[in-house]
């Protein structure tokens, strides 16, 4: 690929790689690395334990402490079962909209930051611009966690970070934290005509879910509240439930998967502990009276911390100025920004496209959003020249 490309041309190339999270991303990473190294920009890779996935950390400008990172993930959600109007891995333009898997979430931002590199190299930056490109954000954010480990090993750590998740180029100061939990109810099988001789795992799971639903209602009524979020309180949600075999057998096993989305300052692991305590005192005693082996097993599947940047922080001022925005908001979805902030790197979210388009069939990003992102990155760079 030629050195000077438009963001749209770069996006078309990125979309052409099927980097659904279940797949390896190495072909895409190799393409990006070869293109950057062709421009004289060195790349540092960090891999997942299988070696099938990798992050890129590249530095444009002086290899010096500080500077600002532009961060984006290149894994995407599946297209299975979705009714697309065209090939999801071939970028299609229609009426100023660019359709393709990952176009909004979030290869659009990655394309913009890569296409900006030739221009950045000519600017004579006095402070570095770090490029973070990560894997598995859509799964458990393992890529960002691995990248943060690598920053500690390399010592090449930015002072600030912008995560380019789709926000319609509006600065986002804060987002909620998230924890996903698998809950297994273990009962005792038997014939349905003798329910007292068994432990109905579906009943046990249903009682647990009823408690979670009541907690969700309580959070909505009692808070705590943080204006700016929609909704302005923590939430609890059960997404899947399964169990049992046939009608006339007492179900021995049932399982559901749930999540909490918590406000900044709340600890999602504390919510797990409260649920565990309720199960142990309110539901398990009756189960164990029939079979001591009955009960619940809780497994944290993944979690990510909330992010919260002070409205008066220099990064907020910088990004609002570069984005041409006088306001900054909050969102309820999560990003890798909470992990960077937890690692001591002040972080803000600002990127092209709308989150409403993410994960959908016919996902798209407006060309005008890419143009706005290009201008945003150029304005950021202007502030790193002097």
Catalytically active residues are 75, 137
Q: To the nearest 10°, report the CA torsion of 14, 17, 19, 22.
A: 180
| E runs forming strands in 48-100 | 54-60, 68-73, 92-94, 97-99
Contact 169, 106 (CB under 8 A): no
**Do residues 78 and 135 make contact, with C-beta atoms less than 8 angstroms apart?**
no
Which H or E run contains 109? helix 108-115
The DSSP result for 222-243, as a single string, is H--B-BTBSSSB-EEEEEEEEE
The strand ranges marked E within 224-332 are 235-243, 253-262, 295-304, 307-308, 329-331
Rounded Cα distance, 99 and 86, in Å: 9
Contact predicate 24/35, CB 8 Å: no
Q: Do 126 and 97 meet the contact criterion of CB atoms below 8 Å apart?
A: no
Which residues, 6 or more positions from 210, have their beta carbon under 8 angstroms from its beta carbon?
A: none
Helix (H, G, I), strand (E, B) or coil at 217: helix
Q: How far is CA 146 from the centre of its chain?
A: 14
How far, rounded to the nearest angstrom, does the alpha carbon of residue 137 sit from its chain's CA centroid?
Answer: 5
């Amino acid at each position: 690929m030629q050195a000077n490309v438009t963001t749209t041309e770069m996006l078309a190339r990125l979309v052409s790689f099927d980097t659904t999270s279940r797949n390896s991303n190495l072909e895409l990473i190799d393409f990006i690395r070869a293109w950057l190294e062709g421009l004289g920009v060195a790349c540092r890779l960090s891999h997942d334990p299988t070696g099938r996935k990798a992050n890129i950390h590249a530095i444009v400008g002086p290899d010096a402490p500080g500077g600002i990172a532009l961060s984006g993930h290149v894994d995407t959600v599946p297209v299975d079962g979705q009714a697309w109007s065209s090939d999801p891995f071939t970028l299609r333009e229609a009426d100023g909209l660019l359709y393709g898997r990952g176009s909004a979430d979030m290869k659009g931002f990655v394309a913009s930051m890569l296409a900006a590199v030739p221009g950045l190299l000519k600017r004579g930056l006095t402070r570095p611009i770090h490029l973070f490109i990560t894997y598995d954000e859509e799964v458990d954010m393992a890529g960002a966690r691995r990248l943060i480990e690598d920053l500690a090993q390399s010592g090449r750590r930015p002072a600030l970070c912008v995560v380019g998740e789709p926000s319609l180029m509006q600065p986002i100061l804060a987002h909620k934290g998230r924890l996903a939990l698998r809950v297994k109810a273990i009962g005792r099988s038997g014939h349905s005509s003798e329910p007292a001789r068994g432990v109905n795992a579906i009943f046990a799971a249903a009682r647990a879910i009823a408690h979670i639903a009541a907690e969700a209602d309580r959070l909505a009524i009692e808070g705590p509240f943080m204006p700016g979020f929609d909704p302005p309180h923590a939430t609890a949600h059960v997404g899947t439930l399964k169990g049992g075999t046939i009608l006339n057998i007492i179900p021995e096993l049932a399982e559901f998967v749930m999540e909490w989305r918590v406000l900044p300052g709340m600890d999602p692991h504390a919510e797990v502990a409260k649920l565990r305590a309720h199960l142990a005192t309110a539901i398990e005693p009756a189960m164990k009276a029939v079979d001591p082996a009955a009960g619940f097993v809780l497994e944290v599947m993944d979690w990510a911390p909330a992010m919260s940047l002070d409205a008066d922080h220099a990064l907020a001022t910088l990004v609002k100025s570069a984005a041409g925005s006088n306001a900054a908001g909050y969102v309820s979805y999560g990003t890798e920004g909470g992990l960077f902030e937890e690692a001591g790197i002040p972080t803000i979210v600002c990127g092209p496209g709308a989150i409403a388009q993410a994960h959908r069939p016919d996902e798209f990003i407006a060309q005008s959003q890419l143009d706005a992102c290009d201008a945003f990155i150029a304005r950021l760079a202007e502030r790193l020249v002097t």
